[in-house]
Amino acid sequence: MRPFRHRRITAGVALATMLVTAAPPTAASADDSRNRRAGYHRVGYFTQWGIYGRAFPVKKLDTSGAASRLTHVNYAFGNVSEDGRCFVDGGPGEGDAWADYQRPVPAEESVDGVADAWGEPLNGNFGQLAKLKAKHPGLQVMISLGGWSWSTYFSNAARTDASRKAFVASCIDLYLKGNLPVLDGGSGGPGAAAGVFDGIDLDWEWPNWPGEPGNVVRPEDRQNFTELLAEFRRQLDAYGRTTRRHHPLTAFLPANPAAMDAGYEGREIFRHLDFATVQGYDFHGAWDPVTNQQSALRVPSGAPDNPDFSAEVAIDGWLARGAPREKLVLGIPYYGRGWTGVGGSGNGLFQPATGPAPATFEAGYEDYRRLKTLAGNGFTVHRDLRAGHAWLFDGTTFWTYDDPAVVLQKTLYIRRAGLAGAMVWSLDGDDDNATLTKTIGLGLATP
């Protein structure tokens, strides 16, 4: 790490400490000394598709220094079929088996510098994750099931006792036992991916609540989600008795209190989970007619919506519903949300806009590694130190995002609130030096 960068981060620690200490306590942040804990989870999502346009192979987790700062890598995503099974299919819209375990990774992209040969049982991202774990033996890799696009049939999988048993068995067989379908050329086969995945992350978006259009939604999803977790826990524990290991079970949970009440049985779900990651982003975006924050730690003064979302509102919502704070992991974004055609005056916050800001891959959505280059290049960085958020504005275009100072402030909030750690979406949004991941590592370091 460069000396000047170290000095900047150290100064940020002092500033963020002052801000978190000065903030009024809430249910989440009260009782600093009693709630401190050791051994924080540091969870990062690795996207299957990041190897393409973002040019982010698994190797970058090693060369950037990110892997040594993480405790868990969540692989996004595994799909759920209409008949309620975990499956891998290379068909359009169904998956990318080529990226998962068929693609021969060249030497320059390989974690150990050794190129894959065509048709090996385990190529692609899965093979590289196995090599990453060999180099970082303390790192756990989870298969994350669902996500925004692949939660369509979760309700079918969770609907009955029989469907839950079959679904869970299929996921363990495919990912933990590693029994992959054999593809053209020979990749896959019985046990091909055994040992790559340590556990399962459920990313059902959302039980009994609208997600992507077309998702199956049923009122009984709420109870069935709890029953699904119980079945996963039973089968994972049974499998663990054969491997002599504990296989973790986690879930991604919403920030919206209405979705919390509609889809989750509060305290009950945590009986089965090792921990849960809580959505700490997408509070606002270009779907709103005015600029706003997408990931503030606290609701800013003067916010046009009342009530409004924030990271603290989300955490307090789960605590009020019986979640143990020591099982809550706060989500942090490695991307920003943007608007253009911003009117009004001042610093651009809470001003009308004409639509989403132009961006690299998706209008209104840009990775941190690109947003950081805008500061000083026509854009000014603005901060709300009490609310814990930052934004960029050039007089016309507005981006709300988390930079190292905001991330550090959130890690200190996590420590003070006695939470279990931090999660990030997604690792390919960071810069080549893993600046944000290193900041999390610094903020959640234990003596």
Between the two ends of the chain, the Cα-to-Cα distance in Å is 20
Specify whether 205 is catalytic.
yes
Question: Choosing from 205, 227, 231, 312, which is the catalytic residue?
Answer: 205
The residue type of 173 is: D
The packing angle between helices 221-243 and 161-171, to 10°, is 40
Per-residue b or e along 368-395, where b marks 16 or more CB atoms closer than 10 Å to that residue's CB = bbbbbebeeeebebbbbbebbbbbbbee
What is the distance between the alpha carbons of residues 428 and 445, in angstroms, rounded to a whole number?
Answer: 22
CA dihedral 161, 165, 166, 170 (to 10 degrees): 150
Q: What angle do CA 398, 401, 406 make, to 5 degrees?
A: 135
Whether residue 204 has a cis bond before it, omega within 30° of 0: no
Strands 86-87 and 41-47: unpaired
User: From CA 129, how far away is CA 131, in angstroms rounded?
Assistant: 5
Contact call for residues 273 and 231 (beta carbons, < 8 A)? no
Residues annotated as catalytic are 205
